[in-house]
Amino acid sequence: MHTIESKINHQSISQDIYDTFKNEFPFLAHKGQNIDVLISTLANKLMALPDREVLLWGMVVTEMSLVRKDNAPLPKEIIAAIKQKARELKPAFDSVSPRAVLQVQETNYESLWRNATDKQKHDFFIDHRFTDVPPFIRYWFMKHNKEHRGWTAHESSMMIKFWALPFHLARKEAMTKQQNEIRQYFRERTNG
């Protein structure tokens, strides 16, 4: 079985955890303990965990900081809390497995644009959200409409932003109204 090498800096994360605890607890270590040894021990214990569990450290530290105690948690308590958080989030981890991520297919917008008819190019940003389409396709769209339809940059932008929210926190009705206004504008336009 092949394992992927971790790209996480466990020592840095351990240091960050104790730096955070420095602001939350009066004492970082119990009497007779060395903080550098605790950080090193935590880093070694973090190396034994999968990366996706190690990355939960921020949530765990926040929750541990809410518990008012004099001393910061020991490395074994931090590791136990990380493992507990990972068990809580297991359904979320399982729903986004690497296999599911790899099965997501990328849309080749360049190919779609190059093989589109004039009508499909006209409706390109009605059929595809501008946030998903690469910027160079938006440029081609504007250039095509300027050359073949006589559209201004503003008119092309109106069509590109067909799926954009008309204002912050707009509801579906406002978006539908804006889309209808864009369609009406281009229906009434004489040469486009």
Looking at residue 105, its pLDDT comes to: 57
| Residue 182 CA to its chain's centroid (Å) | 30
Look at residues 31, 63, 32, 61 and name the one whose alpha carbon lies nearest to residue 46: 61
Q: Give the whole-angstrom CA distance, residue 174 versus residue 166.
A: 7
Q: How far is CA 89 from CA 3, 67, 78, 110, 158, in A?
A: 22, 21, 17, 38, 42
Looking at residue 80, its pLDDT comes to: 93
Residue pair 20/64 in contact by the 8 Å Cβ criterion = no
Look at residues 116, 168, 161, 115 and name the one whose alpha carbon lies nearest to residue 138: 161
In the chain (192 residues long), the average pLDDT of successive 10-residue segments reads: 64 89 84 88 90 86 83 90 88 63 67 91 89 86 92 90 83 88 86 55
Sorted by sequence, the CB contacts under 8 Å of residue 188 that are 6+ apart come out as none
Look at residues 53, 48, 54 and name the one whose alpha carbon lies nearest to residue 12: 54
Look at residues 99, 119, 106, 15 and name the one whose alpha carbon lies nearest to residue 57: 15
Please give the model's pTM, rounded to 2 decimal places: 0.48
Residue pair 85/59 in contact by the 8 Å Cβ criterion = yes
Encoded amino acid at 103, one letter: Q
| Residue 139 CA to its chain's centroid (Å) | 25
